[in-house]
Structure 1
Amino acid sequence: MLVLDTDGLAATDRYEALRTVAAREGGVSTVEESQPPDRMHKRLEIWHFGPLTLFDTYGTGARFARPLRTARRELMDNVSVMTQAEGFGTAAFGCDGFQRRLAGRGVGLAPHMVAAHEYGWSGIGRSVAFSVELALLDLPVDTVRAAVPRLQHSPVEAILLLQVRELRRHADRLSDDPSAEPLAAATLQLTRALIVSVAGRDRLRRAVRQETLFTRVLVYVRAHLREPDLTPQRIARAHGISVRTLYRLCEQEGVSLEKWIIQRRLEGARAELASPDRAHRTVDSIARSWGFVQPAHFARRFRQAFGSTPSQWRRLARAGSAS
């Protein structure tokens, strides 16, 4: 949901509008813009996935800060996770005396109740972040605080980053969908796993690793769906488990791994076949880009899933968009 676009405001009102929205939505008390009002631009969108609030902030360089002493009472018990979108430069993140440069591959963690934090970038930047109550992570605040400077050493950081980007990519469609709650739960699981992987005691770390294993597997699979060599052996090896354990895990969750992968690939190919932006590509090239190396196999699976051939579906989609 769009909550601010300064392009629609008079130049004299832009900074105050940004400051007001940042304070209301994120408890930010300090906003510094790199450009004068007539050249600044900010676009802020917000979605709610159950208890999780997702933020997308895009525009000219800025610095946002939340000193501990000025925190809003209702946001004091929250934890924020911040990321910098790929292709939009590097951001500066600071929390509890720790400083880190965030490009497209890192995350910043800010526990509001015990630490001030700041975030900003130069040039044109884009931040995708989320906020949630600490109580939902079911972790001691000292553990969360201890994790802040160690996240770059966790293998879970990259997995959580993938999850955040998937949430943003489909936010308009999924935030009002029944799947919003499970998506929030999966994101919280990954956040919990990220924190304890670098700051939890051994027993807690092992327990959370096991609790979040299936979620981590699915995020990994989604990230590598397009790769033809995405085999059960590769998935199991990436998570330090045997193929037998992987199959048992999926069976416990009521998921057939191979069928799940094929269905997600078919859905991705179906969307691209209908997209005007992919009209220049052949059916076979789109199939290959989604991991189907044999055109005949793709066509058969596509017809079984959707009741038409890929070419028929593409013609119907084009006719529908033209009418």
Structure 2
Amino acid sequence: MLVLDTADLPAADRIEAFRAVAVGESGSCSVEEEHPEAGVRKRLEVWNFGPLTLFSTQGSGMRIWRTPRHARLDSMNTVSVITQSRGTGAFAWNGHQQHVGPDSLALAHKTAGYEYAWSGDGLSVAFMVDTERLGLPEHLVRAAVPLLRHSPVAPLLLRHIRSLHRNADRLSADPGAEALASATLELTRALIVSVAADERTRRSVAEETLLTRVLAYIRAHLSDPGLTPRTIAAAHNISVRTLYRQCEQGGLSLEKWIIRRRLEGTRRDLATPEHAHRTIEAVARSWGFTNPAYFSRRFHQTYGATPRRWRLLHQRPAAFAHPDEP
């Protein structure tokens, strides 16, 4: 949901407007624009997924920082995971400094203070949640801050955040938004303990979050036709039997779940104008379907229409669709 677009405001009001919105949405902070004399461009979008808030901030270079003093000015005690989809971010906390590019992320604990900045045109996507929702001691959260690059969970969480952002309008309004928030928090817990906890805690949280991590891994590899129970199990250092037991305990059939997610992806692409130039077979192949006849049959069974008819009905006004078209 769009909260602020400075293009709609007089130039003289843009800096203060962005500061006010930043404080109102995420709590007390200080904001400094890189080149205020050259003009401020900011577009801020915010979506709520139950207890989790997703932010998208894009525009001209800036620096935002929070100190323990800022934390004392409000009651928010939050943890944020920050990513940079365009440009390169700079994160600093307690002597730790790191660059945040498209393939990395940063972990920030508000009461501990931190600084985040980028130069030139940038796009940052982050989510924020109350610290207590993680169910982890604060010292563990802070210990993980400089160690994230060593976590095998980081790529999964990064892809998950990007997917949430790409479909945020639809997903935040979906009845499953709370479940998506839970999955995000489970991945965040796994991220933190994978680099900062003792062996006993790591094993415990790894077991608790195994199914969440498996499903996140599958979502990230749906386009791979070589995705099989054996490769999924191997990626998580478990047996195929354990994989199936986890899925059964989670109330899902592994093969059916994968096929359904792939079908949802093809259905979405076939109805989207930017994919109109691609053949149906190419769309199906990009979601892991290598047998066109099998794909067409499963699509028709699931949605009551052939892929071709679905595309015809959704890529042009319905008034022009003849009811007897195949």
TM class by smaller structure: over 0.9
1:69 aligns with: 69
> TM-score scaled to structure 2, two decimals?
0.94
Q: Which amino acid aligns with 2:240?
A: V
Counterpart position of 1:256: 253
Q: Secondary structure of 1:104's partner?
A: coil
Partner of 1:30: 30
Is it true that 1:102 corresponds to 2:100 in the alignment?
Answer: yes
- Post-superposition shift, 1:177? 2.2
The one-letter code of the counterpart of 1:133 is D
Offset at 1:322?
Answer: 7.0
- The equivalent position to 1:281 in structure 2, one of 255, 278, 281, is 278
Q: Structure 1 pair 75/171, CA: closer, same or farther in 2 (3 Å)? A: farther
- Does structure 1 conserve the Cα–Cα contact (< 8 Å) formed by 2:57 and 2:125? yes
Question: Residue in 2 aligned with 1:125?
Answer: 122
- The 1:155–1:135 alpha-carbon spacing in structure 2 relative to 1, beyond 3 Å, is same
Aligned mate of 2:312, from 312, 315, 318: 315
Letter in 1 for 2:84: Q
Q: Which amino acid aligns with 1:164?
A: I
CA contact (8 A) 1:154 1:198 kept: yes
What's the counterpart of residue 57 of structure 1?
Answer: 57
Distance 1:10 1:37 in 2: 14
Give 1:146's aligned residue. 143
- 2:231 — aligned with what? 234
Residue in 2 that maps onto 1:111: 109
Query: Secondary structure at 1:123's aligned position in 2?
Result: coil
Q: In terms of mean alpha carbon deviation, does 20-29 or 161-170 score higher?
A: 20-29
Residue range with higher mean Cα deviation, 96-105 or 73-82: 73-82
Corresponding residue for 2:266? 269
Per-residue CA distance 1:150-194 (angstroms, 9 max, x = gap)? 111110111111121122122111213221111111111111111
Q: 1:77 to 1:220 in 2, by over 3 A?
A: same
Distance 1:34 1:225 in 2: 40
Deviation at 1:98, TM superposition (A): 1.0
Higher mean displacement: 292-301 or 175-184: 175-184
The residue number in structure 2 matching 1:304 is: 301
Distance 2:67 2:80 in 1: 14
Does the aligned pair in 1 maintain the 2:3–2:45 contact within 8 Å?
yes
Deviation larger for 255-264 or 18-27 = 18-27
Partner SS state of residue 316, structure 1: helix
1:290-301 equivalences in 2 (<5 Å): 290-301=287-298
Matched positions, count:
320
State TM-score, norm by structure 1: 0.95
> Is the alpha carbon distance of 1:205 and 1:233 closer, same or farther for their aligned partners in structure 2, counting shifts above 3 Å?
same
Counterpart CA distance in 2 for 1:309 and 1:49 is 34
Name the CA shift for 1:174/1:72 in 2 (closer, same or farther; >3 Å).
Answer: farther
- 1:92-147 Cα offsets, whole Å, 9 max, x none, are 0112221110101211111122x110111112111111111111111111111111
Q: Deviation per CA, 1:227-254, whole angstroms, max 9, x where unpaired?
A: 1111111111111111111111111111
Structure 1, 68-77 or 310-319: larger mean CA deviation: 68-77
CA distance in 1, matches of 2:268, 2:122: 29
For residues 275 and 182 of structure 1, the distance between their equivalents in structure 2, rounded to whole angstroms, comes to: 26
* Partner of residue 156, structure 2: 159
65-74 vs 158-167, greater mean Cα deviation: 65-74
Q: Are the counterparts in 2 of residues 143 and 199 from structure 1 also a CA contact under 8 Å?
A: yes
CA separation of 1:73 and 1:215: change in aligned 2, threshold 3 A: farther
Q: Could you list the runs of 5+ residues in structure 1 that have no partner in the other structure?
A: none
Which amino acid is 2:58 matched to?
Answer: Y
Per the alignment, residue 323 of structure 2 pairs with none
Distance change (3 Å), C-alpha of 1:106 and 1:75: farther
Q: Which amino acid aligns with 1:98?
A: H
Q: Distance in 1 between matches of 2:277 and 2:173?
A: 33
Equivalent residue, structure 2, for 1:193: 190
Secondary structure at the counterpart of residue 130 of structure 1: strand
Partners of 2:315 and 2:62 in 1: how far apart? Answer: 42
Give the match's secondary structure for 1:108.
strand
Whole-angstrom distance in 1 between the partners of 2:318 and 2:194: 48
Residue 71 (structure 1) shift: 2.2
Contact kept? 1:11, 1:38, Cα under 8 Å: no
